[in-house]
Structures are given as structure tokens and as C-alpha cells.
């Protein structure tokens, strides 16, 4: 959402500056309005400053570029990585501190490294976990909020807004998916389920079970196809086995 706003602002600025006509050409330099820096521009400046700082503080011989001295760049990369990781952490904390942040991603704190939640689960389940953790979901309430054309916020059951809370707790079309979730996890507390490696996939499967997100439909059908009747490939040697040709 922030990105959308940023890029919209950016294009307005660009359009203003590109507008043809004499007025712009006549405008004196000191009257020109400077566009505020975007976050990415600020980050770029930080990185350039970090590189300059690193170069200034290195002994002359270790920063000579010629002669294919690839290894001497390594410490510089490490230094830059540290600086940028710190920037990322600060920005993350700033965002996480905003009062409307309710998703697991923002409430669990920076130090909780969630990558292990995605280990050893099928890709579509990992995607569902990720969507639930960030709560950037393709449910209709959200799609209508961000202005996707032709989308109304109504739920399939007729409720005025299809939100995560509605689908999880109230939707009458989702009784079966909800019951499955309770049977598997013993709870519908998604925030809690999404914190742990053993329960996060159950939460992800619940989202897939709702059938509300198109991108999961094919993966779900493939997974639910009954393959028990399928004949496995026969090992090649059985073809050479004389008993196979009576
Ligand atoms: Zn509903």
C-alpha cells in the first residue's frame, strides 16, 4: 500500500515537472519546488555514504582496484551489508511500531526469524503462510480497499465485507474449513498458530481450504487428486525378465 502511494506521488511529481509550456521554462531556479526524497533514494544515499566512509578508513594498499584483487572487496561488502542490515532493521521497527499493524509479521518482533516456518512445506502452503503472516491477502474486502476495478467487498455468504476475521470466525460458507482447522490445530487463533513451525502449515492449509484465493485452486486440486489407483512406472529390468513374457 505504502509503495502504491509512493509510486503515485512519484508519477505526479514527474508529470508536474514534464508538463510542457513556457511557464515551466520561465520559472526561476530558486522558485522550483524540490521533490521530497523517496525512501529508496534515501537508502541509496546511505549506501553511497557508507562506501565512501569505508574507502576513507581503509589503508591505501588494501583498496587498490587493479590486478583482479577480488578478495580486497570482501571486507567492504561485509561492511556495507552490516550498514544496510541495520537500516533495514530500523525501518522495520519504525513500521512495526505503527498502531494499525496487527499481522504476525509485525507483532512478533525483529528477532524472530521466521524462515524456518517455511521449511519442508509444499510451496503453495508456504505462500499461504506468508500471506497470512503479512495479512496482505487477496480477500475481497482488501481488494476493494485497494481499489481493484470491478471488485466489491462482499463475501460469498452475502456479508458486507469479506475480511480475514469474518472468514475465520463468522462466515457460514466456511464452516467446513473452520472445522478442519479446529480438528487439526485445536484452535482458530491464527496469530498463535503462525508463530510455530509445527502449526503454521495448518494455518496455511486452512487458507487454501477456504477456496477463496484463486491462486491456490490448481495446487489444491493436484494435491487432492486420488493417485492410489495409479500404476507406478515398472522398473526396466522386469521387461528383461523372461517370466514377464510367458
Ligand atoms: Zn462470508
Please report which helix (H) or strand (E) contains residue 145, including its range.
helix 140-145
Q: Are residues 164 and 121 in the same domain?
A: yes
Q: How far is the centre of ligand 1, averaged over its atoms, from the C-alpha of 159 (Å)?
A: 5
H helix runs in 19-163, sequence order? 22-26, 39-57, 73-96, 104-107, 123-134, 140-145
Q: Is residue 236 one of the residues assigned to a domain?
A: no
| pTM attached to this predicted model | 0.58
Q: What range defines the domain where residue 204 resides?
A: 114-224
The rounded Å distance from CA 182 to ligand 1 centre is 18
Distance 131 CA to ligand 1 centre (A): 19
Quote the CA–CA distance of 2 and 87 in Å, as a whole number. Answer: 18
Give residue 165 CA to ligand 1 midpoint distance, Å.
10
- 208 in the same domain as 138: yes
Is residue 157 domain-resident? Answer: yes
pLDDT tens string for the chain (246 positions)? 556 766 665 665 566 555 555 455 555 555 567 788 888 888 888 888 888 888 888 876 655 554 445 555 677 788 888 888 888 888 877 877 787 777 777 777 666 666 677 888 888 899 999 889 887 788 899 889 888 899 999 999 999 999 999 999 999 999 999 999 999 999 999 989 998 889 999 999 999 999 988 878 776 666 666 656 656 565 555 555 555 444
Question: CA-based Rg of the chain, rounded to a whole angstrom?
Answer: 27
Is the sign of the CA dihedral 206, 211, 215, 218 positive or negative? positive
- In the block, cell 491456490 appears at 216
DSSP 65-95: -TTT-GGGHHHHHHHHHHHHHHHHHHHHHHH
Q: In angstroms, what is the span from residue 108 Cα to ligand 1's centroid?
A: 28
Q: Is the dihedral of CA 36, 40, 46, 51 positive or negative?
A: negative
Same structural domain, 130 and 81: no
Please tell me whether residues 120 and 203 are part of one structural domain: yes
CB-based contacts of 119: which residues, under 8 Å, 6+ apart?
A: 197
Question: Cell numbers at residue 217, please?
Answer: 485452486
Does residue 23 form part of some domain? Answer: no
195 located within any domain? yes
Both 125 and 211 in one domain: the answer is yes
How far is ligand 1, taken at its centre, from the CA of residue 217, in Å? 18
Give the three-state DSSP class for 59.
coil
CA of 166 to the centre of ligand 1 (A): 6
Structural domains counted in the chain:
2
Amino acid at each position: 500500500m505504502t509503495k502504491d502511494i509512493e509510486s503515485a506521488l512519484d508519477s505526479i511529481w514527474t508529470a508536474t515537472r514534464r508538463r510542457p509550456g513556457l511557464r515551466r521554462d520561465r520559472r526561476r531556479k530558486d522558485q522550483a519546488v524540490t521533490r521530497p526524497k523517496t525512501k529508496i533514494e534515501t537508502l541509496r544515499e546511505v549506501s553511497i555514504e557508507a562506501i565512501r566512509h569505508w574507502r576513507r578508513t581503509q589503508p591505501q594498499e588494501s583498496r587498490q582496484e587493479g590486478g583482479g584483487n577480488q578478495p580486497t572487496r570482501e571486507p567492504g561488502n561485509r561492511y556495507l551489508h552490516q550498514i544496510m542490515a541495520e537500516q533495514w532493521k530500523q525501518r522495520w521497527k519504525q513500521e512495526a511500531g505503527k498502531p494499525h499493524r496487527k499481522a504476525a509479521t509485525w507483532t512478533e518482533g525483529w528477532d524472530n526469524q521466521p524462515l524456518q516456518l517455511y521449511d519442508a512445506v509444499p510451496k503453495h502452503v508456504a505462500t499461504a503462510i506468508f500471506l497470512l503472516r503479512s495479512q496482505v491477502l487477496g480477500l475481497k474486502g482488501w481488494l476493494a480497499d485497494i481499489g481493484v476495478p470491478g471488485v466489491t467487498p462482499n463475501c460469498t455468504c452475502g456479508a458486507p465485507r469479506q475480511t480475514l476475521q469474518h472468514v475465520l470466525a463468522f462466515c457460514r460458507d466456511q464452516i467446513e474449513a473452520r472445522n478442519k482447522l479446529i480438528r487439526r490445530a485445536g484452535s482458530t487463533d491464527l496469530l498463535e498458530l503462525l508463530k510455530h513451525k509445527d502449526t503454521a502449515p495448518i494455518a496455511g492449509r486452512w487458507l487454501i481450504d477456504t477456496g477463496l484465493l484463486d491462486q491456490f485452486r490448481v495446487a489444491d486440486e493436484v494435491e487432492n487428486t486420488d493417485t492410489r489407483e495409479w500404476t507406478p512406472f515398472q522398473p526396466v529390468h522386469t521387461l528383461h525378465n523372461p517370466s514377464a513374457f510367458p
